[in-house]
Amino acid sequence: MKSGIIGLPQSGKSSLFKILTRGHGTVGKSPREAGIGTAAVPDERLDKLAALYNPKKLTHAVIEYVDSGPITPDSLKDPTFIAALRNVDCLIHVVKVFDETVQPLEQIKHLEFELIFSDLGQIEKRVGKLEKDAKKMKGLEKEFELLKKSKIHLEQEKPLRSMELNPEEKKTLRGFTFLSEKPVLIVLNIAENDLSQLEHAVQYYHLEKLEGLLNQGITAVCGKIEAELAEMTEQEASEFLTGFGLKESGLNRLIRKTYELLGLISFFTAGEDECKAWTISQGSKAVDAARAIHSDLADHFIRAETIRWNELLEAGSESAAKTKGILRLEGKDYIVQDGDVLHIRHSG
Ligand SMILES: Nc1nc2c(ncn2[C@@H]2O[C@H](COP(=O)(O)OP(=O)(O)OP(=O)(O)O)[C@@H](O)[C@H]2O)c(=O)[nH]1
Ligand SMILES: [Mg+2]
C-alpha cells in the first residue's frame, strides 16, 4: 500500500513523514521532489504470536509513504510533482492546526479546491481530445460518458472521491489517476497544548460535517509529541500515553484509520521460520489470501487451516488448538476475518 502525504505549505508534512518512516526515508532534494520511505505497520497481535513461536523472522506489513512538496496552484501544474502522487492508493492530508490563525475547515477546503481544479484541467483536456477525434472515440463511449459525468461533478466543486459509482465505473475512473478521486485521510496536526483534545479533535474544531463522507476519514496527531514518542522505549511511550489518558499513539491511530479508509484487514501466517502479517481487502476469500502469499498456493489450494489469533494464543500451540477442536478447515470461499491465522494446505 502506498500513501501520499499532501498539504498546504508548512503544514508539517515532512515532519510527519520523518516520524512515520523513522528517519529512514529519502528526502526530496528540491521542494517539488518527493521523498519516499516505508513504515512497518505496528501490530500487537503479530508481536504476541511472535512471542509464542519465537520465529527466525518477524515480518510486519509495510506501508510506503510519499512526502510531496506543498500543494499550490504552481506545484499542481508541474507534471513531475503530480506524477509522484498519481500512483498512490490514498492521500494523507496534513492540516496545520498548531500555531495557525486560519481555521482548519478553510484550509481543508482550500486544498480540496486545488485538487478539484487540477483534475478539472486534466479532464477538460481528455474530453476535448475525444470530442475532436471521432476515430479516437470508437470503443471509448463508456469512458467518455464517465468523464463527462465526472466533469460535471467537479464543476460543482465536489471531489471525485464523493461520486457514487458502480464497481466497473470506479475501476475505470481509478485508471485515470485523478487526485481528487483518491480516498483521503485528513490528519489534523494539533498543538502540544491541545494534546488532551487528540481523541476529540473533530468535535473540538467543529469538523463533524467532514465525518462519514464517502472515501474520506479524519483523525488527529500532534507532530511534536509523536517526534518525542518516537525517541522513547516502548515502555516509556506507553507510560507517557497513559499519563495523558491516551490509548494509543497518534501514528498508530493514523495507520489504523488508513486501513479502515481503504477497507483493508490483516491476516497472519505463523510458524517457527517466520511470523508475518499480510494485508488484504475486507471481504477477500481464503483463496485470495492464499494468492497474496503465492499464486501457487491459490492454484493448488485444498483447505485453509484457520484460527483467530487470540484463540491460538490461548490454546498455546497449533496442535493444542487441533486437539481442542478450534482449528477450522475452511474452503476457498471462506471470507477471511481481520486477525485470522491461516495455514494454507495445498497439493503439489
Ligand atoms: N509546533 C509545531 N511545529 C511543527 C509541527 N510540525 C511541524 N512543525 C514546524 O513547522 C515547520 C514546517 O514543518 P515541515 O514538516 O517541514 O512542513 P512541510 O509541510 O513539510 O513544509 P513544506 O514541505 O515546505 O510545505 C517546521 O519549522 C516544523 O518544525 C508540530 O506538530 N508542532
Ligand atoms: Mg516538506
Q: Is 88 exposed, middle or buried (0-12, 13-18, 19+ CB in 10 A)?
A: buried
Q: Whose CA is nearest to atom 17 of ligand 1?
A: 12
pLDDT (average), residues 103-121: 94
Q: Whose CA is nearest to atom 23 of ligand 1?
A: 69
> Residue 23 region, left (φ>0) first, then alpha (ψ -120 to 50), else beta?
left
Closest CA to 159 of 201, 188, 123: 123
What is this structure's pTM?
0.91
40 alpha carbon to ligand 1 midpoint, in Å? 23
Amino acid 29: pLDDT: 67
Q: Which class is domain 283-346?
A: alpha beta
In the predicted structure, residue 99 carries a pLDDT above the cut 80 = no
Does an H or E element contain 188, and which? strand 184-189
Distance CA 188, CA 298 (A): 41
Q: Is 32 in the pocket of ligand 1 (CB under 6 A)?
A: no
Q: Is 13 in the pocket of ligand 1 (CB under 6 A)?
A: yes
Residues in Cβ contact with 213 at an 8 Å cutoff, skipping those fewer than 6 apart: 162
7 backbone dihedrals φ, ψ, rounded to 5°: 165, 170
Amino acid 305: pLDDT: 96
In the predicted structure, residue 151 carries a pLDDT above the cut 90 = yes
In the predicted structure, residue 198 carries a pLDDT above the cut 90 = no
pLDDT digit string, tens, across residues 133-145: 777 777 788 889 9
pLDDT digit string, tens, across residues 219-259: 999 988 888 888 888 889 889 888 888 888 888 889 999 99
Residue 11 CA: nearest ligand 1 atom is 19
Distance CA 237, CA 243 (A): 10
pLDDT (average), residues 63-71: 92
Q: Is 96 in the pocket of ligand 1 (CB under 6 A)?
A: no
159 alpha carbon to ligand 1 midpoint, in Å? 26
Which of 15, 72, 189 best tests ligand 1's pocket when mutated (most atoms within 8 Å of CB)?
15
Share of the chain above pLDDT 90, in %: 68
Q: Is 98 in the pocket of ligand 1 (CB under 6 A)?
A: yes
